[in-house]
Structure 1
Amino acid sequence: MKSILFSGAMALSLLAGHTATAQQVKASEPESVLAYFEDLGAPAKLVEDNVGDPSVEVRYYGTSMVVFFYGCRNNKNCNSLQFFAAYTEDSEISLSGLNEWNAEQRYGRAYRADDGRKMLEYDVYTGQDGVSMTDFDEIFDIWTEVVESFEDSLS
């Protein structure tokens, strides 16, 4: 019975992946990033950051995050994204713990801001052509693993 369920789930997964590959997620098209999160069922909102570039505010499994757009020309035609999450100064991690966490990571970086908040970032270059929905799923999976790892390191 398990193999039948697994086979059915695998077939649906492949079918979903096949239709998703036709779509691209592009930093040059902020609506494609917003649509990705809406398709996930994650509350998301397209807004402007403090310099007029687009950004997407997202809430995903209890974590508030922002996707910033970079490499923009006149606040449009951006070529890269940055996943970002901030944690209050009450979220403790020692400087050596922060350095150790960073040293163990391939993706993502964390630092302490002057006001004591902890910042977590992960940059992605999409270029003008974007990345497939399948690849963006992998990119977002990496980000969520980075978030989970960092949150586990906070006391």
Structure 2
Amino acid sequence: MRQVKTHFTIMLALALCLGLFSGNCFAQSMYDGISGPEMQRILNNMGFSTELTRDDAGDPLINSSEDGLNFQVYFYNCTNDVCEAIQFYSGFTQTNNPSAESINEWNTTKRFGRAYRNNNGDSRVEMDALVTGGVTEQHIRNLASTWKIVLQQFAQHINW
């Protein structure tokens, strides 16, 4: 009798999970890579304004901004416009660029987002992410939310 109850419990849980009664355990789609239009839709739904274009290699490129801070989303390892990795990027050009020590401090004390100075001494901050292997839309939204924090904190760090 115990085995029948256990079997019934498992079948009931499975039925509930599959949405036969109510609820759905698989409410979010899983991504094995992301396209430019999919990423643009997610960012737009989060309140970011976006412009979808193409980079010099023909891969998707999104131009966006957050509180007056411009940034781009670059796409990597793309096949048929579905890409395995993205990079959030922002460059800052200013007359009083931060020192190498200030950039090193950022990289030493911050977990997300790496900073550097380009050949002209201008500040840059980037955040890479893999978006393959079964990530949810919520995960991609979390990446964008983390980037928003990184971007704002970096702008403060360099007195932008």
Tell me, yes or no, whether TM beats 0.5: yes
| Structure 1, 86-95 or 104-113: larger mean CA deviation | 86-95
Counterpart position of 1:35: 41
Counterpart code for 1:41: G
Counterparts of 1:41 and 1:23, CA distance in 2: 21
Counterparts of 2:64 and 2:157, CA distance in 1: 22
Question: Would you say how many aligned residue pairs link Structure 1 and Structure 2?
Answer: 134
Larger radius of gyration: 2
- Runs of 4 or more, structure 1, over 6 Å off, are none
Percentage identity across aligned positions?
25
1:106 and 2:123 aligned: no
TM-score normalised by length of structure 2: 0.74
TM-score normalised by length of structure 1: 0.77
Counterparts of 1:77 and 1:128, CA distance in 2: 13
Flag structure 2 segments of 5+ consecutive residues without an equivalent.
Answer: 1-23
* Root-mean-square deviation (Å): 2.1
Counterpart position of 2:130: 125
Counterparts of 2:57 and 2:120, CA distance in 1: 21
- Judged with a 3 Å threshold, the aligned counterparts in structure 2 of structure 1 residues 104 and 63 are, in CA distance, closer, same or farther, namely same
Secondary structure of the corresponding residue to residue 119 of structure 2: coil
Superposed displacement of residue 42, structure 1: 1.8
- Judged with a 3 Å threshold, the aligned counterparts in structure 2 of structure 1 residues 146 and 54 are, in CA distance, closer, same or farther, namely same
- Judged with a 3 Å threshold, the aligned counterparts in structure 2 of structure 1 residues 60 and 109 are, in CA distance, closer, same or farther, namely same
- Judged with a 3 Å threshold, the aligned counterparts in structure 2 of structure 1 residues 108 and 72 are, in CA distance, closer, same or farther, namely same
Residues 28-67 of structure 1: pairs in structure 2 closer than 5 A: 28-67=34-73
Counterpart position of 1:4: none
Flag structure 1 segments of 5+ consecutive residues without an equivalent.
Answer: 1-17
Superposed displacement of residue 143, structure 1: 1.1
